[in-house]
Amino acid sequence: MKKLNRQYDVDINDNFEIYCGTINKNNPKVIFLSCKTRVKPNDENDYHKILDDIFNKLKYDMKHNLLSSDLFESKFILDYDIATNLLVNQQKILTFDIFLKQKTKCKLLKDIIKDIECNFKPIFNDFTKNFNKNNFSISKTKH
C-alpha cells in the first residue's frame, strides 16, 4: 500500500516553523498548514484572553483573505493549543493547524506552495505584529 500523505516546508514567516500538507497527494482537496513557534510573555497578564484575541484576529484576517481567493473556499478550521497557565515568565511552544479546502478543481500541493506563501505571508506578518503589540516575544528557536 502506497503512502498518500505529503508535506512541504513553506517560507511564510521567520518566527514560525510551518509546513503544508495533505493526506491525499493524488487528490489534495483538503490542505493543512501546521505551525509551531515559541511564545514568551514580557509581562504578567490574562494570557488566555490575550491569546484568544490574537487568534480571533487571525481568524478574521484569514476569512477576509479567503473570501477573495480563487484557490480555497472561505470556510476553514483553525485549531491551536498552548498551556496558558504555564506561560508565566517562560517560553512555551505554541502549535496550531489551519485546514483549508480547495475549490472545485484540485491542484497538486507542489503546484500551489508558492501561492500559499504569497497569500499567507501578509497574514502571518500581521499575526507576528499582533503578538508583539500584546507584549509577547515569539521565536522559531528556543532562547
Interatomic CA distance for residues 112 and 116, integer angstroms:
6
Q: Is the pLDDT of residue 143 over 80?
A: no
Residue 1: predicted pLDDT = 45
pLDDT per residue as tens digits for the range 80-109: 887 766 677 788 888 999 999 998 788 888
| Class in CATH terms, 6-139 | alpha beta
Q: Can you tell me the mean pLDDT for 36-41? A: 90
Query: Grid coordinates 532562547 are at which residue?
Result: 143
Interatomic CA distance for residues 58 and 78, integer angstroms:
9
Q: CB within 8 A of 132, min separation 6: which ones?
A: 138
Of 17, 53, 21, 54, nearest to 38 (Cα)? 17
